């Protein structure tokens, strides 16, 4: 009996010896990995800011509340600055063409970190837009996981590449039922592999020739997976970008036609559909946002699950490489082609018609600016200003630029057009169904000319349209960049500052946040962003990029 008692005592002692260090360790371990205190929380829902502390543990938001007395490995006093969910860019081209381990090598490997996005507070990107993507989403996922990425990303499957793969060079027609079946199989496989939905570029080759029935058939394939359909419009104004009056039949699709088609796709499939980088382009189409918004609001009231996204600039990407001389009238390898057009009365008449159309579609001569030209005194001037200076018409100025400018540039100069109106941007942003997007790519300082939106989109949305123009509140600007895109795409556990969500977080100074990128000096990081975390890891710390790559390919949707 004594031996049994001694044995039991020995077991208890051993248990205590083993357990006590664990108890001590647990008692002494900090409650949080990171604790932000004294912050003003914008939780992403659109609710007003409130003061609270935010604790992070093991990559998740562990607590939001009064936590100043809690222990943490690192405590950061943000002194009334805004702490919010990391921004979600619902439409970008960050990883569209990553389909090989050798896509980016050497110094270019820094692109996987996406510094121009991280510096804006962006923690999740929705890539493979406007119909462009690798055919194998599974392969793209493996490469991104192996290389490691800074922000999280969702991957769409691109209709243009799917259509081109199936139809080859014979794409200037409607697809046959057999071809549509092949496309459906590719889309279905992409969804099985984790794609977030289908993107189209209906203004681009080869999707220009697709029918609504073809799009409906493919969108139906993404519905069982909760996929989203994001549509680059067939036209963003009174005519598509490819339309040339002297060569194409009148009556091309307009932006209104595009919205009607998108609504039809939504009705016939039941899918979530997005009018992506929504716009009203061309001075003759300015103000059309009112009609576009009415169409969308009426469709939503009838149960169509339609949304939109918009970037906060009145100039598009293609506006940065404006060529006002039509292709048929020029040949960079043979200048005589253009000269022959000028000397032929009938061809010259057609040329004038096409130039007038191009200038109007690009916002008018006063909104087309010279960005690069051999005569540096022209740089920064509009076509209208230069025409007046030279005592000629804007149309004649276009021809003069071609004749006297850089022979290696199609129009003699590099031009940027401001083809949209602030009136329409404000109208789109005033709608609760419009999310923020950049429509940008990954850029590094030292790259060539890029759109300012690559570096400035999200701070600009807050600074210009919330603080300065008061189109929306700061809380709504944050919502449109966080919980709204998360809601549209069914992203779980991201987009809100809430316990249990992934710690994708941005901290910014509301007095200092602003975009600094310009069109002459675009490679400039935004100001006022102090901390950015992706999955609980600092990717921007005290305003400095860490170059850590904790991002994930997000497939846990809906």
Half-sphere exposure of 480 (CA within 13 A, CB side): 31
Q: Which residues sit opposite 124 in a β-bridge?
A: 88, 152
Higher pLDDT, 25 or 425: 425
**How do residues 95-143 score in pLDDT, each as one tens digit?**
999 999 999 999 999 999 999 999 999 999 999 999 999 999 999 999 9
Answer whether the bond into residue 206 is a cis peptide, omega within 30°.
yes
**How do residues 430-464 score in pLDDT, each as one tens digit?**
999 999 999 999 999 999 999 999 999 999 999 99
Instruction: Write down the pLDDT at residue 28.
Output: 52
Q: Which residues sit opposite 155 in a β-bridge?
A: 127
Percent helix, strand, coil in the chain, to 5, is: 40, 20, 40
Q: Hey, is 229 helix, strand or coil?
A: strand
| DSSP-derived pairing of the beta strands 505-508 and 529-534 | antiparallel
Q: What is the DSSP letter of 463?
A: I
**How do residues 244-280 score in pLDDT, each as one tens digit?**
999 998 888 999 999 999 999 999 999 999 999 999 9
Q: Both tokens of residue 242?
A: 């490819």
Task: Determine the Cα–Cα distance for residues 200 and 234; give it in Å rounded to an integer.
Answer: 10
Query: Which residues of 299-431 form beta strands (DSSP E)?
Result: 306-310, 368-372, 414-417
Band of residue 557 on the pLDDT scale cut at 50, 70, 90: confident
Instruction: Write down the pLDDT at residue 29.
Output: 65
Task: Determine the Cα–Cα distance for residues 89 and 425; give it in Å rounded to an integer.
Answer: 17
The answer to whether the beta carbons of residues 94 and 114 sit under 8 Å apart is yes
Q: Is 5's pLDDT higher than 60?
A: no
Q: Is 80's pLDDT higher than 70?
A: yes
Band of residue 24 on the pLDDT scale cut at 50, 70, 90: very low
Band of residue 342 on the pLDDT scale cut at 50, 70, 90: very high
- Between the alpha carbon of residue 554 and those of residues 100, 119, 123, 127, 491, the distances in Å are 19, 21, 12, 11, 8
Q: Which residues of 419-445 are buried (b: 16+ CB within 10 A; e: fewer)?
A: bbbeebbebbbebebbbbbbbbbbbee
The answer to whether the beta carbons of residues 413 and 302 sit under 8 Å apart is no
Task: Determine the Cα–Cα distance for residues 276 and 262; give it in Å rounded to an integer.
Answer: 11
Rounded average pLDDT over 401-415: 95
Rounded average pLDDT over 200-206: 98
Is the torsion defined by CA of 435, 440, 443, 449 positive or negative? negative
Q: Which residue has the tokens 């100001």?
A: 527
| DSSP-derived pairing of the beta strands 306-310 and 368-372 | unpaired
Q: Which residues sit opposite 276 in a β-bridge?
A: none
Mean pLDDT of the chain: 94
Q: Exposed, middle or buried, 156 (CB in 10 Å: 0-12/13-18/19+)? A: buried
Band of residue 364 on the pLDDT scale cut at 50, 70, 90: very high
Task: Determine the Cα–Cα distance for residues 219 and 411; give it in Å rounded to an integer.
Answer: 39
Q: Is 50's pLDDT higher than 70?
A: yes
| DSSP-derived pairing of the beta strands 306-310 and 434-436 | parallel
Give the H/E segment covering residue 507. Answer: strand 505-508
Q: Which residue has the tokens 């697709």?
A: 210
Q: Which residue has the tokens 């199989």?
A: 185
- Between the alpha carbon of residue 372 and those of residues 4, 36, 406, 417, the distances in Å are 94, 47, 9, 13
Q: Domain coordinates of the chain in residue numbers?
A: 1-27, 85-316+420-545, 321-417
Instruction: Write down the pLDDT at residue 556.
Output: 86
Band of residue 9 on the pLDDT scale cut at 50, 70, 90: very low
Q: Is 58's pLDDT higher than 80?
A: yes
Band of residue 169 on the pLDDT scale cut at 50, 70, 90: very high
Band of residue 319 on the pLDDT scale cut at 50, 70, 90: confident
Give the H/E segment covering residue 506. Answer: strand 505-508
Q: Which residue has the tokens 């382009």?
A: 281
- Between the alpha carbon of residue 535 and those of residues 352, 437, 504, the distances in Å are 56, 21, 5
Q: Is 477's pLDDT higher than 80?
A: yes
Query: Which overall architecture, per CATH, does domain 85-316+420-545 show?
Result: Alpha-Beta Barrel (3.20)
Task: Determine the Cα–Cα distance for residues 489 and 195; give it in Å rounded to an integer.
Answer: 11
Alpha helix ranges (H) inside 255-393: 255-269, 289-301, 336-343, 345-361, 383-390
pTM of the model: 0.93
Q: What is the largest CA-CA distance in the chain?
A: 121
Task: Determine the Cα–Cα distance for residues 476 and 381; give it in Å rounded to an integer.
Answer: 36
């Amino acid at each position: 009996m004594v031996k049994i008692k001694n044995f039991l005592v020995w077991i208890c002692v051993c248990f205590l010896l083993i357990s006590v260090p664990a108890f001590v360790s647990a008692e002494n371990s900090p409650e949080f990995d990171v604790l932000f205190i004294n912050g003003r929380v914008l939780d992403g829902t659109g609710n007003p800011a409130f003061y609270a502390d935010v604790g992070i543990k093991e990559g998740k938001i562990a607590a939001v509340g009064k936590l100043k007395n809690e222990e943490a490995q690192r405590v950061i006093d943000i002194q009334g600055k805004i702490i919010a969910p990391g921004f979600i860019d619902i439409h970008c081209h960050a990883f569209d063409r990553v389909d090989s381990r050798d896509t980016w090598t050497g110094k270019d490997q820094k692109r996987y970190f996406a510094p121009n996005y991280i510096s804006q507070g962006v923690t999740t990107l929705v890539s493979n837009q406007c119909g462009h993507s690798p055919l194998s989403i599974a392969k793209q996922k493996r490469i991104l996981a192996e290389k490691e990425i800074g922000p999280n990303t969702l991957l769409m499957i691109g209709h243009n590449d799917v259509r081109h793969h199936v139809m080859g060079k014979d794409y200037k027609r409607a697809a046959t039922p057999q071809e549509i079946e092949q496309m459906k199989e590719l889309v279905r496989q992409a969804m099985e592999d984790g794609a977030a939905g289908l993107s189209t570029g209906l203004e681009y080759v080869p999707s220009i020739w697709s029918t609504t029935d073809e799009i409906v058939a493919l969108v139906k394939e993404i519905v069982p997976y909760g996929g989203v359909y994001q549509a680059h419009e067939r036209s963003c104004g009174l005519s598509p970008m490819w339309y040339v009056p002297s060569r194409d039949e009148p009556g091309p699709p307009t932006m209104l036609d595009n919205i009607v088609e998108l609504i039809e796709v939504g009705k016939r499939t039941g899918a979530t559909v997005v009018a992506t980088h929504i716009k009203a382009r061309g001075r003759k189409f300015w103000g059309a946002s009112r009609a576009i918004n009415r169409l969308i609001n009426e469709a939503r009231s009838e149960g169509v699950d339609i949304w939109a996204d918009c970037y906060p600039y009145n100039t598009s990407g293609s506006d940065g490489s404006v060529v006002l001389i039509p292709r048929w009238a020029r040949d960079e390898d043979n200048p005589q082609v253009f000269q022959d057009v000028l000397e032929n009365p009938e061809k010259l008449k057609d040329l004038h018609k096409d130039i007038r159309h191009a200038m109007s579609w690009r916002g008018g001569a006063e909104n087309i600016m010279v960005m690069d030209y051999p005569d540096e005194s022209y740089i920064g001037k509009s076509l209208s200003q230069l025409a007046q200076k030279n005592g000629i018409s804007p149309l004649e100025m276009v021809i003069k630029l071609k004749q006297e400018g850089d022979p290696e540039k199609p129009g003699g100069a590099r031009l940027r057009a401001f083809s949209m109106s602030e009136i329409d941007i404000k109208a789109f942003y005033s709608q609760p169904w419009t999310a923020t997007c950049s429509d940008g790519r990954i850029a590094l300082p030292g790259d060539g000319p890029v759109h300012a939106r690559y570096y400035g989109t999200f701070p600009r949305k807050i600074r210009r349209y919330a603080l300065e123009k008061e189109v929306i509140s700061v809380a709504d600007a944050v919502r449109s960049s966080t919980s709204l895109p998360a809601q549209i795409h069914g992203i779980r556990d991201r987009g809100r500052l809430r316990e249990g969500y992934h710690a994708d977080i941005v901290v910014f100074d509301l007095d200092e946040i602003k975009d600094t990128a310009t069109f002459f000096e675009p490679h400039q990081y935004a100001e006022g962003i102090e901390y950015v975390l992706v999955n609980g890891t600092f990717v921007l710390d005290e305003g400095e990029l860490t170059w850590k790559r904790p991002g994930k390919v997000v497939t846990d949707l809906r």
